[in-house]
Amino acid sequence: MVLLSRKATCNSHGQDSSYFLGWEEYEKNPYDVIKNPQGIIQMGLAENQLCFDLLESWLEQNQDAACFKQDGQSIFRELALFQDYHGLSSFKNALADFMSENRGNRVSFDSNNLVLTAGATSANETLMFCLADPGDAFLIPTPYYPGFDRDLKWRTGVEIVPIQCSSTNGFQITKLALEEAYEQAKKLDLNVKGILITNPSNPLGTTTTRTELNILFDFISKHKNIHLVSDEIYSGTVFNSSEFVSVMEILKNNKLENTDVFNRVHIVYSLSKDLGLPGFRVGAIYSNDKDVISAATKMSSFGLVSSQTQYLLSSLLSDKKFTKNYLRENQNRLKNRQRKLVSGLEAIGIKCLDESNAGLFCWVDMRHLLGSKTFDAEMDLWKKIVYQVKLNISPGSSCHCVEPGWFRVCFANMSEETLKLALKRLKKFVDDETSKRSCQKSESQRLKGSRKKKITNISNWVFRLSFQDREADER
């Protein structure tokens, strides 16, 4: 037996087995319009595949960018040698401008306050290393991205305490929930170092409201030791950009520049969702705190962005004509595609969260399809959807949702036809279920007892699944 660290051997820091299962099943039987039309349709992957044509045509017209050339001259050598953890300044400038553009130029970003990292995964972990010690806690509103359990906790030793949100108010953060989470942390003897939100939210697909932001800012104004991290990775997916309020805007509008709050608010960004480039590993931390910038910059040594990629993207993002057009087109296409999913679901009698106005997914209410109001029933339903309906969607329990019956369904990672087919399949399933229910309402009591046993078997099976190799978490 080889002696490894606990980090290496203690599995699943909150890794949800259901996440595996859905993925594994998809991998075994992936849908393909020609080769495997009966396969499982992947709706658990928050990818943005709607605007590659725009990127590809830009590449065609600007071949120097990918081929290490500047004004026709080779700069291969310079790029090959460039490993400065301050990052390529032309890229940081372009990225800072792009972030401003994403916020309607209502705020501006100083590239000196930007730290580049290998994706937002790296950015979030690095921020934890900078802001918290092992055993400290961050408060995170539920439901949240399952990957946070690994990204924020695994190697850092930081704990997550959930801020429980409910469907009664569209899962918005309330002052009460925030204070309860804080009290809970204290009860657990954990030192709260900050709050982390994702805005726009994953998995809700909604922008954080001004009311919520004010609650958060009031809280951190009161508690002088607490940081606020706003992961704004989906900022460019807001269908109507005027609806997105970044924490940067609150800082500006509330004139907090000369207060201590200013240094305790940090933003995480990435090009994985807005530009659909998760493979290129481009993330960033933005902070007004010089010490955080300094430490995070050094830590970025452990996950620098390839200079080849920095150069390509600095050219792309410096092209303002391109970025302006892209942002607008992206928003439109996402909006249209989301509408198709929402109306398609409505036609089946399934509602999505009312306020959804962003993201690459919808937060779908399937509570009425549950056998009972339990997470076991949710798991039951989810397995049916994966195995029978052949759609891989993400169950709310994997996002730590407190209410069973909610699912995250992605819409931007497939063609329109595939989405139509997915909805068709789902409709058939719901119709079947509905007729089954009206026929067997009397028998349901008798069967419930035996079904419960079956659920237990399934739950055991799912949890017996060990930490096998699988694809990286998709947000």
Least distance from another protein to the Cβ atom of residue 312, Å: 7
Among 40, 94, 95, 130, binds another protein (CB under 8 A): 130
Nearer to another protein, 130 or 426 (CB): 130
Among 14, 62, 66, 107, binds another protein (CB under 8 A): 66
Kindly state whether residue 303 participates in binding another protein, applying the rule CB under 8 A: yes
Among 164, 198, 237, 307, binds another protein (CB under 8 A): 307
Least distance from another protein to the Cβ atom of residue 425, Å: 24
Considering only residues 319 to 378 of the shown chain, the ones binding another protein according to CB under 8 A are none
Least distance from another protein to the Cβ atom of residue 99, Å: 20
Kindly state whether residue 70 participates in binding another protein, applying the rule CB under 8 A: no
Kindly state whether residue 461 participates in binding another protein, applying the rule CB under 8 A: no
Strands 406-410 and 73-74: unpaired
Kindly state whether residue 304 participates in binding another protein, applying the rule CB under 8 A: yes
Kindly name the residue from 153, 193, 273, 390 that is annotated as catalytic: 273
Here's the x/- map for another protein, 156-195, by CB under 8 A: it reads as -------------------------------------x--
Nearer to another protein, 139 or 353 (CB): 139
Considering only residues 199 to 228 of the shown chain, the ones binding another protein according to CB under 8 A are 225, 227
Least distance from another protein to the Cβ atom of residue 311, Å: 9
SS (H, E, C) the chain: CCCCCHHHHCCCCCCCHHHHHHHHHHHHCECECCCECCCEEECCCCCCCCCHHHHHHHHHHCHHHCCCEECCEECHHHHHHCCCCCCCHHHHHHHHHHHHHHCCCCCCCCHHHEEEECHHHHHHHHHHHHHCCCCCEEEEECCCCCCHHHHCCCCCCCEEEEECCCHHHCCCCCHHHHHHHHHHHHHCCCCEEEEEEECCCCCCCCCCCHHHHHHHHHHHHHCCCCEEEEECCCHHHCCCHHHCCCHHHHHHHCCCCCCHHHHHEEEEEECCCCCCCHHHCCEEEEECCHHHHHHHHHHHHHHCCCHHHHHHHHHHHHCHHHHHHHHHHHHHHHHHHHHHHHHHHHCCCCEECCCCCCCCEEEEECHHHCCCCCHHHHHHHHHHHHHCCCEECEEHHHHCCCCCCEEEEECCCCCHHHHHHHHHHHHHHHHHHHHHHHHCCCCHHHHHHHHHHHHHHHHHHHHHCCCCCCCCCCC
CA distance linking residue 103 with residue 202, whole number of Å = 19
| φ/ψ bin of 276: left (φ > 0), alpha (ψ from -120 to 50), beta (otherwise) | left
Kindly state whether residue 73 participates in binding another protein, applying the rule CB under 8 A: no
Stretch that binds another protein, among 210-218, 276-284, 367-375, 434-442 (CB under 8 A): 276-284
- 145 is an active site residue: yes
- 231 is an active site residue: yes
| φ/ψ bin of 119: left (φ > 0), alpha (ψ from -120 to 50), beta (otherwise) | left
Nearer to another protein, 125 or 376 (CB): 125
Kindly name the residue from 226, 233, 393, 455 that is annotated as catalytic: 233
Least distance from another protein to the Cβ atom of residue 368, Å: 34
Here's the x/- map for another protein, 16-45, by CB under 8 A: it reads as ------------------------------
Among 33, 36, 56, 108, binds another protein (CB under 8 A): 56
Kindly state whether residue 302 participates in binding another protein, applying the rule CB under 8 A: yes
Stretch that binds another protein, among 58-66, 245-253, 323-331, 415-423 (CB under 8 A): 58-66
Least distance from another protein to the Cβ atom of residue 131, Å: 6
Stretch that binds another protein, among 76-84, 93-101, 210-218, 429-437 (CB under 8 A): 76-84
Here's the x/- map for another protein, 240-269, by CB under 8 A: it reads as -----------------------xx-----
Least distance from another protein to the Cβ atom of residue 437, Å: 40
Considering only residues 395 to 434 of the shown chain, the ones binding another protein according to CB under 8 A are none
CA distance linking residue 198 with residue 458, whole number of Å = 32
Nearer to another protein, 42 or 356 (CB): 42
Name 194's bridge partners.
138, 227
